[in-house]
Structure 1
């Protein structure tokens, strides 16, 4: 029985609210009426991410409104309270012009080196998928970084900008794209007040990522590609400049692939930059190198439903090339390609491996939920692994 929380139920409810027939929505979204009918009847196997993005755009809602990814912000308990505290840190009235910028804290600002170390530790926890601890710590870290920024000025731009950027990234995972955009804007505003153009440019990737999850594909691609063009490095530029540029190209690739556009030029340009560097470069809580390009090529081909190309691209990546949840996200793309190639058992293995990277991160991945549900629906008797994965992503 439909409990009102499935993709189909949400789609039908919002479509009715908009006064659209299935035919009218299909025409507006550029998908078939049959797809909409199947989704609303509960055929979740038809719920591909690219189609859902088009439907979300046509309905003028965020993607999470259809996928059910949105975190319940008002739930009781420590985790719910921590998310609320992080929301409040992003939406504090003290951000308004003319008001004090200390969140009511009369304490002494922490030493800049201590704040930087705390932010760097938070970045490591993010990639490790340690979201529960990170969500609990970020509100206080943002407050400390704001105090230090008020006292130190430009010298303290990096830790405050990165604290906001981390909050934005977490909110994307929780399905709160609206708050993610706020956090990304805060980070960009702080970085714009500093002298590090590469930091400011790199942080546009998070804003573009939030736009992607709002199904604003054209805007996301234009923002990332436009910023990449702005900082395009010369032949003699240092590796960090090439890495910042390459990461923005790879950010532009994702919405282009989701929109069904050709991505070969992005891949070729980024690959040339990665080959010039020759190894992985870490910069501002991101990294770029040959494995990054292979990972994003795998993602693009998986999204475009080109499993052979996706699996071929994935062969260039070893476990040592990627860390934490970046490897987990790559495994989801590989699982998608394997499932499209009708290798359910292998896809299940990759999903199990991705879950082991970080169970908390895995639980919030809409793609993981869709893949697990598709495999479970296709199996006459779901295997113990699939039953365990279904519980991990809260599938009833």
Structure 2
């Protein structure tokens, strides 16, 4: 496929490789023959991402096979968020056609699953088109399309935070809240305030983050012993965000209070829950407590909390990021070899944490400075995080 330089070229080549006519591809994918023909002839340069996903499925390939590989930079996501009236992926011919709401919801939910699995390039590839389609759907359907619009912007906020675009993440979170306000699900609106607080935390606006999270939590606090678990998930996530902010500002008393509140809510849970694209449960609480106590340089409490984190409860990359906090606590206790071993496990699970100047950067540097003998593995990790040339 090296000579196929456009979307239409790749579509035509894949169709020929599968020995399919345009009509057969249209029947199998549910995408209009006219759209397929215009793409292949270069009369359209793009199409709705829901259509592209259906074409890819019918051709037994990944979406990246049609689009020419994942877009790692997230540039298209940034552009889509900064132009809230734009509809990426839309052709002028699409202007009057409202997207199918069921297909759109499934596409947004599938992209969230890719996010939780750690496949950020895949998310970055799908998301601009989803932002465009959810905006178009909301213009045509109003409140009925509020959920996919809010969820797509929520995902944009998460992705942009992971890319270090903290200002744009906060903007996307505010757009998500505004979208939710046009619907009728108050709990989704509450969950999105948690996402906004997370964006504030990534901007290092810790006290504003904590104050806002506490304000929303106080206004929506459910009865811990009787509330629906999804309400506890949303409320508990706000408490965990406030806890992270308090840990960052080294306020031990506040962290202890938040840990107690979060554990009280999590006592109702048999395991982890994912509601409104936020997570909560016993392992989630323990993971956040580990992080907060590592920030407070309370390694004993951090490792005690880490003992309640069950690996199978967390996504792979998330557990790998958690291990950095465990290694930090071990290093604070001067158990340097244990910290190095934990770092190696973290690297195997979360490579993004070891990118240039990523989250592992300061800890790797600390170990190299403290250890009398630097192992080849630690030296290699130093090169990964750009400590050494």
Q: State the TM-score bracket (shorter-chain normalisation).
A: 0.7 to 0.9
Counterpart in the other structure of 1:144: 133
Paired position in structure 1 for 2:192: 203
Q: Which deviations, in whole Å up to 9, do the C-alpha atoms of 1:21-60 show, x marking residues without a partner? A: xxxxxxxxxxxxxxxxxxxxxxxxxxxxxxxxxxxxxxxx
Gaps of 5+ in 1: 1-76
Q: CA deviation at 1:222?
A: 0.7
* CA RMSD, Structure 1 to Structure 2 (Å): 2.4
RCO comparison, higher one (Cα < 8 Å, 6+): 1
1:257 to 247, 263, 268: 247
Work out the CA distance in 1 between the residues paired with 2:89 and 2:70.
Answer: 25
Asked if the contact 1:129/1:360 (under 8 Å) is kept, the reply is no
Alpha carbons of 1:106 and 1:182: their partners in 2 closer, same or farther (altered >3 Å)?
Answer: farther
Task: Return the TM-score normalized by structure 2.
Answer: 0.75
Please give the per-residue CA displacement for 1:285-336, whole angstroms capped at 9, x wherever unaligned.
2221111111111111111000011001111122112223321221111111
Alignment-derived partner of residue 317 in structure 1: 309
Correspondence list, 1:181-260, <5 A: 181-234=170-223, 235-260=225-250
Are the aligned partners of 2:243 and 2:292 in contact in 1 as well (CA < 8 Å)? yes
Q: How does 1:297-312 map to 2 (within 5 A)?
A: 297-312=289-304
Query: Which residue in the other structure is 1:126 paired with?
Result: 115
- Maintained 8 Å contact 1:243/1:288: yes
- SS of 1:394's equivalent in the other structure is coil
1:337 aligned onto 2:323: no
Secondary structure of the residue aligned to 1:282 is: strand
Task: After TM superposition, give the deviation of residue 343 of structure 1 in Å.
Answer: 1.5
Q: Secondary structure at the match of 2:279?
A: strand
CA distance in 2, matches of 1:361, 1:134: 18
Aligned length: 316
**CA separation in 1, counterparts of 2:361 and 2:276?**
30
Deviation of the 1:155 alpha carbon:
2.3
Q: TM-score, normalised by structure 1?
A: 0.74
Which structure: larger Rg?
A: 2
- How does 1:77-96 map onto structure 2 within 5 Å? 82-92=73-83, 94=85
* Structure 2, unaligned runs of 5 or more: 1-67
Following the alignment from structure 1 to structure 2, what is the Cα–Cα distance between the partners of residues 154 and 384?
Answer: 58
Is the contact made by 2:89 and 2:129 (CA closer than 8 Å) also made in structure 1? Answer: no
Q: Counterpart in 1 of 2:383?
A: 391
Decide whether the 8 Å contact of 2:353 with 2:360 is kept in 1. Answer: no
Distance in structure 2 (CA, Å) of the matches to 1:311 and 1:297 = 10
SS at match of 2:331: helix
After superposition, where does 1:95-106 map in structure 2 within 5 Å? 105-106=92-93
Is 1:271 the equivalent of 2:250? no
Match of 1:292 in 2: 284
> How far apart, in 2, do the equivalents of 1:344 and 1:275 lie?
34
How far 1:87 moved relative to its partner? 0.8
